[in-house]
Amino acid sequence: MDKQQIKAAVCAAIDQNRDKLIALGKDIFSHPELGYKETRTSSLVQRTFEELGLPYQNELALTGVKARAAGRDHRATVAVMGELDAVVSPLHPNADKQTGAAHACGHNAQITTMLGAAMGLCLSGAMEQLDGDAVFMAVPAEEFVELEYREKLLRDGKIEFLGGKQQLIAEGAFDDVDMAMMVHSMPGAPTPQFTAVGAGCSGFVGKLVKYRGKEAHAGAAPHDGINALNAACLGLMGINAQRETFKDEDGIRVHPIITKGGDLVNIVPADVRIETYVRGRGIDAIVDASKKVDWALRGGAMAVGAEVEIVQLPGYLPIDTNRQMDALFMQNAAALVGEKNVVDASAMPAGGGSSDVGDLSLVIPTIQPVAGGFSGTAHAMDFLVCDEEMAYINPAKMMACTVVDLLCDGAEAACQVKAEYKPTYTKETYLAFWREFVKAQ
């Protein structure tokens, strides 16, 4: 078969499994699980891989799963990814009543499209015509939530990183993968068929801040206390005083919340806690802003004689999407939904959101197009699938056909991507960057 015939067979196999894929997407949507706890969804992925006859590894980064479909030759390996976890959105009508988890970011569709691509490539016989391998990965813990829970996992030595792709890099799960792709949801798109390719996203670091003061009776003897809430407020004011030093083009965003403001209203607050991100479009800008935020937070404590502990959390790095892979994906997207519905977003400013797919893109060639089919607002109670074909089926075809482009004809396109890609980090220097950041701040 030639390339177009292989693609046609792949898409036909996906169409034949359309009802099954949509049912999978709805099932996952109805059973949301938070990061590093996605045991039910992980089991569903494993059962699907077993049905496809794919050998797989499980318990990667606690709940991740990785399957490999071998081609007739092994000149390159392309990974198709989907994210297992939900976000915290307790007001969502489909939220888990105990955890507040809800698939208000479309990760249920990501897992479905990853499995759809696997069905298309494996059930069509396409892999027998390709000169490389396809890897299908269910990745945990993309949403940066439940930080205290994940910090405990860190302390217990179960993980080193809070993000699933970061943890998989550290564990070596990408050591035998040459390039990777996934499709993210885009709620409120101009049309349900809308697809954007090459969009950037910001990076960030996280911080857990604990102010310690001294308790005293707030009415009778406040002079005997040290007010940790005052220290925190001064720290936040210090951050605001730094904002004029952030360059507009760096897109720096600092958005703290106070998660504990004291214990009782008639006791001088002695235990006050803050969580914050420091976001930006470039690594150097993020590191610089992070230092300034720490100066401000420490200054708040010093001003009133309190103590402060700042726990640095490795966040996510800005994405560097691979333009060669983007171009192939755009062609396949246009063939499915029409050129008018496909936008090259590479020249647009990076968005304010972040993902650990950015970290991966700095180690191996990676793309993350976004697609419509969703209504409402990301991470909000009104987020829903509004077009099942676009949410669950078309992205599976787009990714599977892009795999065909990369791995057919001697895997020429994949080999070209490998040869021309200049990584920002090796695996070793990537890990060293985050480890040094945590120590130095």
> How far, in Å, CA of 59 to CA of 262, rounded?
39
- pLDDT above 90: residue 395: yes
440 is a domain residue? no
Q: Which residue's entry shows tokens 């997207």?
A: 333
pLDDT at 188: 85
Tell me, yes or no, whether 216 and 325 share the same domain: no
Q: Which residue's entry shows tokens 């071998």?
A: 70
Q: What is the CATH number of the domain that holds 342?
A: 3.40.630.10
Q: What average pLDDT is seen over the chain?
A: 95
Query: Beta strands of 292-422 (E only): which ranges?
Result: 307-316, 342-344, 366-367, 370-375, 384-385
Tell me, yes or no, whether 58 and 150 share the same domain: yes
Tell me, yes or no, whether 288 and 373 share the same domain: no
Residue 159 and residue 61 in contact, taking contact as beta carbons nearer than 8 Å: yes
Residue 186 and residue 345 in contact, taking contact as beta carbons nearer than 8 Å: no
Tell me, yes or no, whether 323 and 311 share the same domain: no
> How far, in Å, CA of 432 to CA of 402, rounded?
33
C-alpha angle 354/360/361, rounded to 5°?
Answer: 85
- pLDDT above 70: residue 334: yes
Reported as a single tens digit per residue, the pLDDT across 174-189 is 999 999 999 999 998 8
Q: What is the CATH number of the domain that holds 280?
A: 3.30.70.360
225 is a domain residue? yes
Going by the DSSP 8-state scheme, the letter that residue 339 receives in this structure is G
Tell me, yes or no, whether 52 and 170 share the same domain: yes
Domain boundary at 316, 334, 367, which?
A: 316
Residue 101 and residue 38 in contact, taking contact as beta carbons nearer than 8 Å: no
Tell me, yes or no, whether 231 and 301 share the same domain: yes
Reported as a single tens digit per residue, the pLDDT across 122-164 is 999 999 999 999 999 999 999 998 888 998 999 999 999 999 9
Residue 159 and residue 49 in contact, taking contact as beta carbons nearer than 8 Å: no
Domain boundary at 316, 351, 385, which?
A: 316
Q: Which domain holds residue 23?
A: 3-201+319-432
- pLDDT above 60: residue 441: no
Tell me, yes or no, whether 298 and 325 share the same domain: no
Tell me, yes or no, whether 170 and 37 share the same domain: yes
146 is a domain residue? yes
Tell me, yes or no, whether 257 and 385 share the same domain: no
> How far, in Å, CA of 330 to CA of 301, rounded?
52
pLDDT at 15: 98
Higher pLDDT, 405 or 191: 405
437 is a domain residue? no
- pLDDT above 80: residue 349: no
299 is a domain residue? yes
Reported as a single tens digit per residue, the pLDDT across 235-260 is 999 999 999 999 999 999 999 999 99
Residue 203 and residue 279 in contact, taking contact as beta carbons nearer than 8 Å: yes
Tell me, yes or no, whether 36 and 148 share the same domain: yes
Percent residues over pLDDT 90 in the chain: 91
pLDDT at 353: 82
pLDDT band, residue 199 (cuts 50/70/90)? confident
Query: Beta strands of 129-226 (E only): which ranges?
Result: 133-139, 179-181, 184-187, 195-197, 203-212
438 is a domain residue? no
- pLDDT above 90: residue 102: yes
Residue 59 and residue 165 in contact, taking contact as beta carbons nearer than 8 Å: no
Reported as a single tens digit per residue, the pLDDT across 44-86 is 999 999 999 999 999 999 999 999 999 999 999 999 999 999 9
Longest dimension (CA), the chain: 86
> How far, in Å, CA of 277 to CA of 320, rounded?
21
Residues in a beta bridge with 81: 137
53 is a domain residue? yes
441 is a domain residue? no
pLDDT band, residue 347 (cuts 50/70/90)? confident
Section 319-345 average pLDDT:
96
Tell me, yes or no, whether 148 and 166 share the same domain: yes
Domain boundary at 316, 336, 367, which?
A: 316
pLDDT band, residue 440 (cuts 50/70/90)? low
pLDDT band, residue 27 (cuts 50/70/90)? very high
> How far, in Å, CA of 301 to CA of 47, rounded?
53
Domain count for the chain, please give it.
Answer: 2
Tell me, yes or no, whether 347 and 392 share the same domain: yes
